[in-house]
Amino acid sequence: MSPESPFVPRGRRGAQRLWLWVMVLTANGGRCVYCDLADAETLEHERPVADQGHDVWWNLLPACDRCNGWKRGRTAAEWVADMKLQLRWPKLRFTKNTLPLATVEGIRARVGRTRAEIRDPDRSRWFEHHYGDRSRPPRRAGIHEVARECGRTLARYPHRPWTTPESPRATGRFCTRRMCCPGSHPDARWETVMVASLDHHRFQVAAFEEGLHPGDLLGNLVRRYLAERGGV
């Protein structure tokens, strides 16, 4: 995480920075953690702010507006318990609206998985690197558009970029994830190579199997060659 704490005063969800919104909204595949169906639209407090659940990033989960409104001031566990009672005894009023039973039964595991995803320091650092400098659009629809675009960008990677190793010269200021944008490193230089198309294809496959950006694999080969060759 950034040395600068993303903590903001309680109850000011709208004041969270853009990278934090995008980081939370893209967790759980961009879907609401509760119904697992609708697009995530808001940052939901898994533990309500009123119940000592501070408005800090590790208490936030992606939710749709409907589930956020239905859950209201309850913890996820309390809401699940109320919905189960309601589904069992529909005539008694434990809670006004419920999700289907199979969905309700998956909430606990989904919340746990999504919380672990959001608390992953490599993942949050990646979002801060990529979105930390951008200012928050004035409207929530603008934030949703950035989050959707981010989801589309992430779908292009063969691996989640934050799970791949960092370049050995990582400074902390630049994103140096090997499957992401190693070219942003201040010491990075580009080189172009000319190969036959069949070799190019086989090399791309080999890089994928190594879990490396083709450029990084090429860089490794060049370094090995230079080490073997010796001299300056």
Residue numbers of the site for Zn ion (CB under 5 A)? Answer: 32, 34-35, 38, 64, 67, 175, 180-181
- Closer residue to Zn ion, CB minimum distance, 64 or 104: 64
The answer to whether 107 touches 76, Cβ cutoff 8 Å, is: yes
Using the minimum distance from each CB to Zn ion, give the nearer residue, 14 or 183.
Answer: 183
Nearest CA to 127 among 153, 158, 109?
Answer: 153
Q: What letter does residue 42 receive in the DSSP assignment?
A: E
Q: Least distance from C-beta 177 to Zn ion, angstroms?
A: 5
Provide, rounded to whole angstroms, the least separation between the CB of residue 203 and Zn ion.
22
From first CA to last CA, the distance across the chain in angstroms is 39
Cβ at position 168, least distance to Zn ion in Å:
16
Closer Cβ to Zn ion, 18 or 64, answer by number: 64
- The residue (of 8 and 181) whose beta carbon lies closer to Zn ion is 181
Both tokens of residue 67?
Answer: 């589930």
Report, in Å, the least distance between residue 111 CB and Zn ion: 12
Closer CB to Zn ion, residue 173 or residue 202?
A: 173
User: Would you state the structure tokens that stand for residue 211, as one six-digit string?
Assistant: 């879990």
85: tokens are: 């009672």
Q: Could you tell me the smallest distance in angstroms from the CB atom of residue 145 to Zn ion?
A: 19
Contact status, residue 24 vs residue 118, Cβ threshold 8 Å: yes
- Sequence-ordered alpha helix ranges (H) in 35-94: 65-71, 76-88
Q: Which of 85, 82, 77 is nearest to 107 (CA)?
A: 77
Residue placing its CB nearer to Zn ion in the complex, 170 or 181? 181
Smallest gap from residue 33 Cβ to Zn ion (A) = 8
Q: How many angstroms separate the CA atoms of 37 and 43, rounded?
A: 16
